[in-house]
Structure 1
Amino acid sequence: MTDLEAVTRWVEGYVRAWHTNDPDDIGELFAEDAAYYPAPYREPWRGRDTIVRQWLGRVDASGEAAFTWFPITVGPDLSILQGTTTYPSVVYSNLWLIRLDTVGQCREFTEWWMRQTGDSG
């Protein structure tokens, strides 16, 4: 499997978990000792159980958001993607840093999200 295939599979799993909010779907994404940074420079959620619990504490309604993305760089240690999250009343630009292990689970994830205002300046 190429690095891009692994990242694509992981992102598809993330989007599935985002829509199902199923603890098993969420847990499958992350290594047991993973770190999830819900925003840069914040303390991460550490460990799969904590990640699942924190995720479920701030769920979106199923199907509420649409997500599109493309890779900026994909490598064996770090992959970066740019995405767009579209809700009915707001759109966010996303930047994700993903570090996968050898079995395709994420060992470290950092997300940036910025609300699009429509302004050019």
Structure 2
Amino acid sequence: MQTREAAERFVRVWERGWAGHDVDALLELYAEDCVHRSMPFREPHRGRAELAGYLRRSFAEERVTDVRFSPPLVGPGGVAVAEFRVLATECGEPSTLAGCVFVRFDAAGAAVETRDYWHTVAGGREPTGSLFFL
């Protein structure tokens, strides 16, 4: 699978999967031995089972109202990057999560390595100065 096709599928499934907390659909995007880093100083989640646990814990208190991903930018070596923005409520309070994901795909189009950088803010807000959501 071409990287562009894999990256477009990745953001499309993540938009729907995050909005519906569909962990099984999200896991289908990943290689069995994937490595996911959710923040630079956290231990990585290795393999689909650890990733599934992380996603279920992350989704437990979150009620999503809107999820948007930018069109992915595709680079050499099976790598892509996309920004995302999620409007949600956590513990009854509105919040916005905005960030980006870096993904490396294998030849079959499965994500073998992902790294997220994200920030949250109280209330429902659009990111300012975004490269992709202008």
Question: Same-fold call, TM > 0.5?
Answer: yes
TM superposition score category, shorter chain reference? 0.7 to 0.9
What do you get for the CA RMSD once the two structures are aligned? Answer: 2.4
AA partner of residue 97 (structure 2): Y
Cα distance in 2, alignment partners of residues 67 and 73 from structure 1: 18
Cα distance in 2, alignment partners of residues 100 and 38 from structure 1: 17
* Residue in structure 1 matched with residue 4 of structure 2 by the alignment: 4
* Residue in structure 1 matched with residue 83 of structure 2 by the alignment: 82
Runs of at least 5 residues in structure 1 that lack an aligned partner in the other structure: none
* Cα offset, 1:73, TM superposition: 4.2
Cα distance in 1, alignment partners of residues 74 and 18 from structure 2: 23
* Cα offset, 1:16, TM superposition: 2.3
Runs of at least 5 residues in structure 2 that lack an aligned partner in the other structure: 129-134
* Residue in structure 2 matched with residue 101 of structure 1 by the alignment: 106
Cα distance in 1, alignment partners of residues 80 and 121 from structure 2: 23
Deviation sequence 1:63-119 (CA, Å, 0-9, x none): 53322313344333321222322336333331211111111111111111123577x
Cα distance in 1, alignment partners of residues 98 and 55 from structure 2: 19
TM-score in terms of structure 2 length: 0.72
AA partner of residue 34 (structure 1): C
Q: Between the two proteins, what is the percent identity of the paired residues?
A: 23
Contact in 1 for aligned 2:3/2:109 (Cα 8 Å)? no
> Match for 1:110 among 103, 107, 115?
115
